[in-house]
Structure 1
Amino acid sequence: MLDNGMNDNFPRGTICIEDLEIGMARHLQKEITDRDIELFAEVSTDRNPVHLDDAYAQDTIFEGRIAHGMLTAGLISAVIGEQLPGHGTIYMGQSLKFMAPVRPGDVVHAEVTVLTIDYGKRRVTLDCRCTVGDMTVLKGEATVLAPSRKFD
């Protein structure tokens, strides 16, 4: 089995719109590694030295290297695409507010909670947040088009 560094407490798959409820939540945890940051820099082409260069980053307001904000946001995408609603979900929009930096070695807890459901349009609004320990590092809302058994 491939160790992806994630500790999933819920099965992957799909929750169709017909089965969603307000307050339903799913989450994952992942330790952010130097390799994660390097791979994200390669894929995104964002090679800002605050992410990759210890000496440079030490002289910034962060006083050390930090992970890309969108790497952390990607964990929200993983919860949405793999767990809630899961496979077949279409992203329609996402707001994000970055509250604090994530550093190599931090364990990020990403959680998504159902706020509203429009069954007729299959639209779901989700509260999204990432924490490191007790500190919220990212928060926002996503709007998604949830899968439906009617369209299987």
Structure 2
Amino acid sequence: MLDNAPRGTICIEDIEIGMVRSLRKQVTDRDIEMFAEISTDRNPVHLDDDYAHDTIFGGRIAHGMLTAGLISAVIGEQLPGHGTVYLGQSLKFLAPVRPDDMVLAEVEVVEIDHSKRRVKMETRCIVNGKKVLVGEATVLAPSRKFD
């Protein structure tokens, strides 16, 4: 399940410090299986209940980069949105995301360099009120002006 967040573009001229955008998505078994197929990361902690039960996680978990991909969706679809170029992303994984968890992915503008069209954002993913992933993204935002 993916909520119906607004899609489109916020140009650099309209971005402000403190702007926040987000999406919610329930991570399904199918999502995990598809990510394993696409990424070729078939670590059994993601796919095998018996194997995962005997790990420190006590059960299967979603790929960390699947969760991080939700941040990319917010950046690419909402803030700044269409036309954005991703320049960098740091990530720190704080807790596992499990099948059927509802993930809230958020980005918040913390710094803007209008002359270079660069926007720095705090990024986070939250499950049941607990941060499971934090980081920082730097992007090149679209502009209404032509270079």
What TM-score, normalized by structure 2, do the two folds share?
0.98
- The aligned counterpart of 1:64 is 59
Q: Gaps spanning 5+ residues in structure 2: where? A: none
> What is the CA-CA distance between 1:151 and the residue it aligns to?
2.7
Pairing 1:6–2:5 present: no
SS of structure 2 residue aligned to 1:112? strand
What percent identity do the matched residue pairs reach?
75
What TM-score, normalized by structure 1, do the two folds share?
0.95
What is the correspondence of 1:92-131 to structure 2 with a 5 Å cutoff? 92-131=87-126
SS of structure 1 residue aligned to 2:52? helix
Q: Deviations over 1:66-124 (max 9, x none)?
A: 00000000000000000000000000000000000000000000000000000000000
Structure 1 residue ranges (4+ consecutive) displaced by more than 6 angstroms after TM superposition: none
What is the correspondence of 1:74-85 to structure 2 with a 5 Å cutoff? 74-85=69-80
Q: Gaps spanning 5+ residues in structure 1: where? A: none
Q: Deviations over 1:47-76 (max 9, x none)?
A: 000000000000000000000000000000
Aligned length: 147
Paired with 2:74 and 2:129, the residues of 1 have a C-alpha distance of 20
- The aligned counterpart of 1:37 is 32
> What is the CA-CA distance between 1:133 and the residue it aligns to?
1.0
